[in-house]
């Protein structure tokens, strides 16, 4: 497995390096909330000695309904992320959806994320890879819900041929079999690592129930919040190199994907447990 590094931040993904925590908000709501979450998670991860990347989306383009909250947008969202980066001295992870977003996003984000539904969009993936390489960051590619783990070889090959180096972290987030559910196969973590890439687990989105939120009559995604810690712990035990988690001070009032979001005040206990599992493994 390749070990990939964010040299500026002294963070390494893969092999026997510490478990990397990629965590924050599902989507930016306002700067004060982002500050609150970043400050809390930085304090927790610093105390535990875990490398930490703050995550938040500036736009959630893949929504169940046209009326769903999407975020502040590219310009305002990147301004907010840059402010968090500067104030708390944290690396940033965020996702993009369009080719022309690649350069501005890579200028702010250290970990540029390709959403699962877009992981096979060649032009987008290559544009993101080139912009991220030029800025000194890494790619975090969510495995599509429609792909087997070994199908990610084509994604890795595509990126390496485009930029001439390994720079991709793969992310497991479950497979869709229809009927508003996702299933996570923990064996897929090792399968993807065998392709030569570090692998993370998106335990938040892996508990989604797409199009099955009873509060909106199916116009938004439901979720099983209680399953997030279960999947996170199982994935770390299976050898995941990092975990992707989303928190909110009041998940039931989150503007996006609240049913899959964890309460912020539970972060310390969960991350302490994940660190212990990693150490045992």
Domain boundaries, the chain: 4-280
Write the CB contacts of 261 (distance below 8 Å, at least 6 apart in sequence): 26, 204, 223, 225, 246, 247, 248, 251, 254
User: Could you give the maximum distance between any two Cα atoms of the chain, in Å?
Assistant: 48
**Of 208, 203, 24, 195, which is closest to residue 109 (Cα–Cα)?**
24
Q: What is the pLDDT of residue 223?
A: 76
Residue that the structure tokens 């800025």 belong to: 135
Fold of 4-280: TIM Barrel (3.20.20)
The pLDDT value recorded for residue 61 is: 77
Quick one: pLDDT at residue 63?
A: 64
Q: What is the model's pLDDT at position 229? A: 97
**If we measure between CA atoms, which residue out of 106, 162, 147 comes closest to residue 170?**
147
- Pairing between strand 11-13 and 4-6? antiparallel
pLDDT the model gives residue 177: 84
Provide the token pair at 79.
């301004």
Using CA atoms, how far residue 13 sits from 21, 85, 145, 211, 273, in Å, is 10, 20, 23, 33, 19
**What is each CA distance from 48 to 21, 44, 267, 269, in whole angstroms?**
11, 6, 11, 10
Token duo for residue 188? 């897929």
The residues annotated with a catalytic role in the active site are 26, 60, 257
DSSP state of 12: E
Position 216 scores a pLDDT of: 45
Question: Residue 256's pLDDT is what?
Answer: 82
Range 16-49 burial, b when 16+ CB lie within 10 A, else e: ebbbbbbbbbbbbbebebbeebbebbbebbeebe
Per-residue pLDDT, 75: 97
For position 221, what pLDDT does the model report? 58
Q: Rounded CA gap, 137 and 8, in Å?
A: 9
From first to last of the 281 residues of the chain, give the pLDDT tens digit. 789 999 999 999 999 999 999 999 999 999 999 999 999 999 999 999 999 999 999 998 776 667 778 889 999 999 999 999 999 999 999 999 999 999 999 999 999 999 999 999 999 999 999 999 999 999 999 999 999 999 999 999 999 999 999 999 999 999 988 777 889 999 999 999 999 999 999 999 999 886 545 554 444 456 789 999 999 999 999 999 999 999 999 999 999 878 899 999 999 999 999 999 999 99
CB 42 within 8 A of CB 265: no
Q: Quick one: pLDDT at residue 269?
A: 98
CB 261, CB 60: distance < 8 Å: no
Over 248-261, what HEC string results? ECCHHHCCCCHHHC
Residues 6 or more apart whose Cβ sits within 8 Å of residue 212? 180, 218, 221, 222
Helix (H) or strand (E) holding 26: strand 20-27
Q: What per-residue confidence (pLDDT) applies to 103? A: 98
Q: DSSP state, 205?
A: G
Tell how far CA 241 is from the center of its chain.
Answer: 13
On whether the CB atoms of residues 197 and 156 are closer than 8 A, the answer is: yes
């Amino acid at each position: 497995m390749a070990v990939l590094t964010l040299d500026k931040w002294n963070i390494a993904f893969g092999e026997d390096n510490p478990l990397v925590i990629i965590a924050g908000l599902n989507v930016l709501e306002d700067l004060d909330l982002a500050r609150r979450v970043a400050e809390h998670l930085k304090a927790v991860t610093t105390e535990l000695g875990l490398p930490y990347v703050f995550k938040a989306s500036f736009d959630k383009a893949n929504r169940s309904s046209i009326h769903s909250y999407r975020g502040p947008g590219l310009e305002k969202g990147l301004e907010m992320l840059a402010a968090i980066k500067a104030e708390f001295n944290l690396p940033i992870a965020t996702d993009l959806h369009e080719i022309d977003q690649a350069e501005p996003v890579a200028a702010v984000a250290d970990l540029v994320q390709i959403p699962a539904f877009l992981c096979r969009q060649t032009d987008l993936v290559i544009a993101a890879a080139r912009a991220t390489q030029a800025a000194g960051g890494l790619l975090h590619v969510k495995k599509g819900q429609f792909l087997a783990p070994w199908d990610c070889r084509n994604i890795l090959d595509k990126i390496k041929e485009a930029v001439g180096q390994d720079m991709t972290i793969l992310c497991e987030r479950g497979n869709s079999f229809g009927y508003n559910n996702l299933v996570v196969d923990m064996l897929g973590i090792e399968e993807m690592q065998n392709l030569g890439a570090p692998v993370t687990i998106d335990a938040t989105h892996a508990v989604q129930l797409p199009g099955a939120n009873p509060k909106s009559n199916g116009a938004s995604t439901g979720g099983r919040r209680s399953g997030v810690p279960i999947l996170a712990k199982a994935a770390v035990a299976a050898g995941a190199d990092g975990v992707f988690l989303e928190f909110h001070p009041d998940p039931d009032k989150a503007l996006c994907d609240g049913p899959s979001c964890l309460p912020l005040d539970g972060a310390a206990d969960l991350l302490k447990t994940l660190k212990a599992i990693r150490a045992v493994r």
